[in-house]
Chains A and B, each alone.
Chain A
Amino acid sequence: MEIGQRGGASAGVTEPVRELSPWGYLLFAIWAALATVLVEGRWLAAPLLLELGFGLVWGRDGLRILRRPRFWIFILSAAVVGPFLIGDPDVTLGPFHLSREGLAAGLEMAGRASTLTLAFRLGPAALSLSDVVAVFDHLGLRGLGFATALAMNLLGTLREMAAMTWQTIWLRGGMRRPLVALRLFLITTIANTLRYGDEAVNAATVRGFDLDVGRPSALPLRRADLWLAVELAGCGLLLLVLHLLPDTSV
């Protein structure tokens, strides 16, 4: 894998520093998930803040989840149930007997869930179809990338085929016997899909497409990936030292 060679910026054109390759997004997701699993307590704030920073620079789309009420209900429910269900109650707040230990545990649960959700949103979920195909190509799974691209392009056609089949059965009075209609619908939809597959195979054969021939498409590391890798390594080391410091000092 060349660095900044094939697929990189043309001569005389400055490559945008902010652009990451799919490897960068995947690296960040793996790092964030590992950091979340390894650290505990208040240290969970560190990967969370890093994710927010990463999102602001490289993946604003991934941060859209923060605007969804469903996400906040999911996250806050963990923080809310903690004081009621974990530990012995030591604080009275009106009619409620709450536990401080439970509040801390609840906040930790909420922090862990939001960090992992964001890691997934900012990493694999940020990749496009062509990125996914190129990554598989590089991993020696060209067939799987090809199948994914085909499936993605087939989705619209499949919906049309299914709708047409259903309408045909309905117009011919098939709904009088619902189970027979359902069986007919399933058989026809799958048979039509396989016929479409024959067309795809024929088209590939005519074009001389072979999964075992040819070099993988270019997916070089970019300068930003290297900067990211260095930053993540530094942050990881710092987090490890700070996380272990109280134990070693004792």
Chain B
Amino acid sequence: MSSYTVRSWVTIGLFGALWGAVEIVLGSYLHLILPPQADTFLAGVLLGAIGVAVALTGRHFVPNRGSVFFIGVVTALLKLLSPGGVTIGPIVAILAEGTLMEATLWIARTPRLWTFMVSGALTVAWNLPHKFVMMRLLFGKGFTEVFNKMVKDGSQALGLDVSAAWLILGILLLVRLIVGAIGGWIAWKLGSAVARRLGLQNLFAS
């Protein structure tokens, strides 16, 4: 923490505000116009990818360890403090995304294009188990029973094998991994482009 200067915290605040603005404005709008079922399949993926792009771009300007996590914390707090945005699900999702991005960058150690892409992919992929984790947390062990029964009954009604549910989950996960990787790629390019525009030295120039 001692390596963080006032400028580092200001930049973390700026990128937290950018991600927060997207979550509050676009998030509220998407949750209003889309049915709740679309939260997992569309709104969450889109917001996750934009969040990845914003937070990882922030890493270009605050290369300190932990900066992406702190950007996530600031975003979650903005969501918490925003009127009408006080729901536990998105706040936990933002914190988990910040943690995942930071963990991936920490493991990779040296920032590279591929680390940004892997970080983005894993972060947006979290969007899929997030719904189940939150439901399990909120509803308790009864949720697991309901979920298993719904998968069985649903596959019977559609005339599909239960393993088809795993295939569908696999496809949903793959889509998230691809979208997240694109988010990471955008962050890498965007950070370099902004640094060039401002005449700053690009810390991650490869």
Residues in chain A within 8 A of chain B (CB atoms): 78, 81-82, 85-86, 105-106, 108-109, 112-113, 116-117, 120-121, 124-125, 127-129, 132, 143-144, 146-152, 154-155, 158-159, 162, 183, 186-187, 189-191, 193-197, 200-201, 204-205, 209-211
Q: Which residues between 126 and 165 of chain B lie within 8 Å of chain A, taking CB atoms? A: 137-140, 142-143, 145-146, 149-150, 153
Residues of B within 8 A of A (CB): 1, 4, 6-18, 20-21, 24-25, 57, 61, 70, 73-75, 77-78, 80-81, 86, 88, 137-140, 142-143, 145-146, 149-150, 153, 190, 193-194, 197-198
Asked if residues A112 and B138 are in contact (CB atoms below 8 Å), the reply is: yes
Give chain B's interface secondary structure class: helix
Complex interface: chain A residues within 8 A of B139 (CB): 78, 109, 112-113
Interface of A is mostly: helix
Partner of B140, one of A108, A155, A158: A108
Q: Which residues of A contact B9 (CB under 8 A)?
A: 143-144, 146-147, 150, 211
- Select one of A82, A116, A150, A195 contacting B88, CB under 8 A: A116
List 7 interface pairs A-B (beta carbons < 8 Å), by A numbering: A82-B142, A86-B142, A86-B149, A127-B81, A147-B70, A190-B190, A197-B10
A128: chain B residues at CB < 8 Å are: 81
Supposing A108-B140, A148-B74 touch, asked if A125 and B86 sit within 8 A by C-beta, the answer is yes
Knowing that A143-B8, A151-B17, A197-B10 touch, tell me 19 more A-B residue pairs with CB under 8 angstroms: A82-B146, A86-B145, A108-B142, A112-B138, A121-B86, A127-B81, A144-B12, A146-B6, A147-B10, A147-B70, A147-B74, A151-B14, A155-B78, A159-B25, A191-B194, A194-B14, A194-B61, A201-B6, A211-B4
Contact B88 A120, beta carbon cutoff 8 Å: yes
Q: How far is the CB of A205 from chain B (nearest CB, A)?
A: 7
Are B137 and A190 in contact, with the CB atoms below 8 A?
no
Q: By the criterion CB–CB under 8 Å, are A197 and B11 in contact?
A: yes
Set of chain A residues within 8 Å of B13, measured between Cβ atoms? 146-151, 154, 197, 200
